[in-house]
Structure 1
Amino acid sequence: MSRGCAGRRLPTSPASAPSTTCDWSRAATSTPPTRSSKVSPRRCNSTTAPSPTCTASPTPRPRPGDAVPAPRRAQADLQPLLDGWPLTPAYAQGTAGHVVAANRPAVALCPFFAVGSNPLRAVFLEPEMRSLYPQWDDMTAKAVSGLRATHSINDADPGLLESIGEMTVTSERFRTLWARREVRRGTAAYTRFNHPLVGQLDLRYEKLLRPEAQQLLVVYHADQGSSSAERLQLLTSL
C-alpha cells in the first residue's frame, strides 16, 4: 500500500484480492505523476545531449490560427473511439512514450495509463508498479526488448531519449536490460495484474501501430467467461 492511501475493505474473496487496499480509483483521477528527482534541471539547447537533468525550453503559447499540436490532435481523434469501449482498457502512446489518449477503464487499471503519463518510465521508477505486476521481471524484460524493436535510437524522439537516459541512470534493472541489446517484438500476449481493488487479472494485450499518426495503441481484454472478465467488469463499475 502506498503511503497516504486510506485503506478500505472490499467484498472480494480472500484468495483473489487483499482485504485492505489503496484508494486506487482516486489516485487514477489525480494529476499525472511527476518526477521525484531532486536534481535541478538545466535547459537543453541544440548542442546538449538529452539527459535526466536537461529539460527543453518552455513551449511558446499557441496563437490563433496555429496548427493544433500532435498530442492534442491524437487525443481528439482517438478519445471518442476509446470512450466507446466501456469494458476494455485502452490507451495510445506517442513517439516520446507518453500517453496521448486513454479511456476510464485504462486509468482504473493503472493510474500511469492516464494521459500525460509515461507507462514505461513508471514500470521502472514507481515502486507501486512492482506490486501491480507480480511477474515484474518477465514484464520488464519484454518491455525493453520491445522498445528496441519498435524504436530506432538514431532517429528517436528527443523525449524518448531523455526517458531512456533517466532510466539508465536511475534504474539498475533497466540499465541491465538495456545493455543486453535484446530485440524482441511482441504485439500480443498475456499480462498478470495484482490489482489492489479487485485482485488478480490475467489480461491479454494487443499492441497496434498507427504509422500515419506515429502512435501505439494498447488494448487489454479478458477471456470471455473467465474470472478475470468478471473482475475487470467489477473494476470498470467502481
Structure 2
Amino acid sequence: MIRVLLADDEAMVRAGVKAILASDDTIDVVAEASDGVEAVDAAQRHRPDVAVLDIRMPRMDGLAAAAEIRRTTTETAVVILTTFSEDAYIAKALGDGASGFLLKSGDPRELIAGIKAVADGAAYLSPKVAHRVITELGAGPGGRMTRAAEAQQQIEPLTPREQEVLALVAGGLSNAEIAARLFLVEGTVKAYVSAVLTRLGVKNRVQAAIIAYEAGLVR
C-alpha cells in the first residue's frame, strides 16, 4: 500500500484528488493538510511514502514545504500538483528534490501513475512539464555544446555499470525495472542509484536524468 499525504488549501480540491486516489486500491491517503506548515508536520508524524503538494498555500508555500520535507523526512518522495507550470516553479521544485511535477489540468490517470512511479523510486513529470524541461536542455549559458561538455565531465568518474544505470534512470525506469533489465537484485540497483546521485552531486533522479540527456547517454 502506498501511503500518501495530500496538501492543498482548497478543501474541494483535496476532496476531488482524494476521490481520484481512492479509485486505486493500492493508494491510501493517510493525512491531509491545508497549508505548508501542516504538510511538514504531517509528513514528520505519518512518514508517508509520497507527499502531494500544491504550490500556492498559506503560511508556507508548497515549494518551501517540499524542500523541508525532503530535508527532514528523507524517505518521503514529493510530488508537486499545481495549476502553475512556470519554468521558475518547475526548476525550484526539481532543484529542491521533488520527484514529480504534475498539472491539475492533466488526466487523472497521470496522478495515479505519478504517485506509483515516485513511490517506486522513479521520477514522473506530466507530458507538458517534461516537454518544457527537455526544451530547456538546449538553453542557458554557453548553449547546448557547452552544457554537453560539462555533463560529459560530470559522468566521466562513473563506472560503466553506473553509467548504464544512469541511462536507465533517465529513461524513466524504476529500480525494479532496472533490476529486471540488468539481472540484478533491487537492493543492488538502489545502491547504484544512490552512488550515482552522490557522485553527480544531485538531489534526485530528475536532475540526474537531465545530466544523462546533456551528456548524450540518452537520446
- Normalised TM-score (structure 2): 0.28
Higher strand share: 1
Greater percentage in helix: 2
Q: Which has the larger radius of gyration?
A: 1
TM-score (norm 1): 0.26
